[in-house]
Amino acid sequence: MSGRRLGLRKRLALKLFSQLYDDTVARHRLSTLFWECTLRCNLACRHCGSDCRADVAEQDMPLDDFLRVLDEQITPHVTPQEVLVIFSGGEVLVRDDLERAGEEVTRRGYMWGMVTNGLALTRERLASLVAAGLRSISVSIDGFEPSHTYIRRNPHSYARAMEAVDHILEYPDLAYDVITCVTPSMVDRLEEFKQLLIDRGVRHWRIFTIFPAGRAAADSGLLLSEEEFVRVLEFIRRTRREGKIDLCYACEGFLGGYEAEVRDHFYMCAAGVSVASIRVNGDISGCTSVRANYTQGNIYHDDFWDVWQNRFLPFRNREWAHTGECADCKAWQFCRGGGMHLRDNDGHLMHCHYRSFP
């Protein structure tokens, strides 16, 4: 089954899974905490979902401010070993106290990881990060050099990102994946690129696509047609069956008949359910990919744990989203209105993969 068609077996499984999801929401056990430690970046990518620039007005959050919240408002309520802290940006490598941050987080028992564009990830920098307790890392490589450079807009970014991957592969205990934003120029070359990654030694790969909203809506070089999007999902499904490389589609959105075939799990939006973020200005929200204003509090005047326990209602009860095109959708019971990052400030759904299937 694919596209909008759901077989009986999958429908039954999804129904049971949605009941499990309700239980997960009720428990809302914090398992991932993003710390948006900077909005500065050494690139200016076309598709960037963050509000990052080289000369951002927003100052980096002082490490001590984050550690205060961790020590006083989070650690007393969680088992640190079961929570993954993700340093997020901007480009986190522009912070020169990243190693100290990693050491402090590790000393408190938390695992930590980071996403990078790889431009500044030298062998030496990676060694110092691993020494500071780095457990997981993701590097963005958006296909072959022309496609990557179109997005990243820096002639050195492709070579540096590839070198970064080579450095990462020198650490067998380090969890990692390569993240690829698939654009139209890459759709026909995915098989070729897969082989390049495999030959390079990469075994974990994640693909995402850009939905038509904001800056991306006007950029035909970024957006896939509906037919191209289906081809990407078919490629992922085929590759997963082949088993040569661990490939998945990112968490974004309910995928109908492709559910459980292009990811390791059924779709669920974990934002505000098991994932929280502390933004660079102190705002408390769900995933950092949620760019619309669903801020639930701020660490400079609210208690993080009180916010986590008692607010986050828009994330945990999505009935408010059961309107518009979702109102009569048969998939509502499984998708609950899609990912929170697909909603704009007014709550409108900016894009629905399921509805866009032919």
Partner 1 sequence: MKNRLKIAAIALLGFSTACCATRKGVKQDGDASSPVIERDTVEARIRLMYGVPMPDGSTSRVLSDEEAQTDRRATVATDNAETK
Residues that bind partner 1 (CB under 8 A): 9-10, 12-13, 16-17, 19-20, 23-24, 29, 31-32, 34, 49-50, 79, 81-82, 84, 86, 88, 111, 113-115, 135-138, 173, 175-177, 204, 206, 208, 248, 250-252, 259-260, 263-266, 268, 270, 274-275, 287-289, 341
User: CA separation (Å) from 327 to 146, 222, 313, 349?
Assistant: 42, 30, 19, 12
Q: Least distance in Å: CB of 300 to partner 1?
A: 23
Spatial distance between the Cα atoms of 176 and 246, rounded to a whole number of angstroms: 11
Q: What would the DSSP string read from start to end of 103-148?
A: HHHHHTT-EEEEEE-STT--HHHHHHHHHTTEEEEEEE--SSHHHH
**Which single residue is written with the structure tokens 């704009």?**
344
Q: Least distance in Å: CB of 266 to partner 1?
A: 5
Q: What would the DSSP string read from start to end of 227-262?
A: HHHHHHHHHHHHHHHHTSSEEEE-S-S--GGGTTTS
**Complex with partner 1: residue 159 or 175, whichever CB lies closer:** 175
Q: Least distance in Å: CB of 36 to partner 1?
A: 9
Spatial distance between the Cα atoms of 331 and 350, rounded to a whole number of angstroms: 17
**Complex with partner 1: residue 24 or 145, whichever CB lies closer:** 24
**Complex with partner 1: residue 242 or 328, whichever CB lies closer:** 242
Q: Which amino acid is at 126?
A: L
Token pair listed for 78: 């969680």
Q: Least distance in Å: CB of 280 to partner 1?
A: 13
**Complex with partner 1: residue 9 or 301, whichever CB lies closer:** 9
**Complex with partner 1: residue 257 or 303, whichever CB lies closer:** 257
**Complex with partner 1: residue 127 or 145, whichever CB lies closer:** 127
**Complex with partner 1: residue 68 or 107, whichever CB lies closer:** 107
Q: Least distance in Å: CB of 126 to partner 1?
A: 14
User: CA separation (Å) from 190 to 86, 231, 255?
Assistant: 28, 10, 20
- For residues 343 and 321, the answer to whether their CB atoms sit within 8 Å is yes
- Best CA proximity match to 223, nearest among 232, 233, 212, 236: 212
Q: Least distance in Å: CB of 22 to partner 1?
A: 10
Spatial distance between the Cα atoms of 239 and 247, rounded to a whole number of angstroms: 7
Q: Least distance in Å: CB of 268 to partner 1?
A: 7
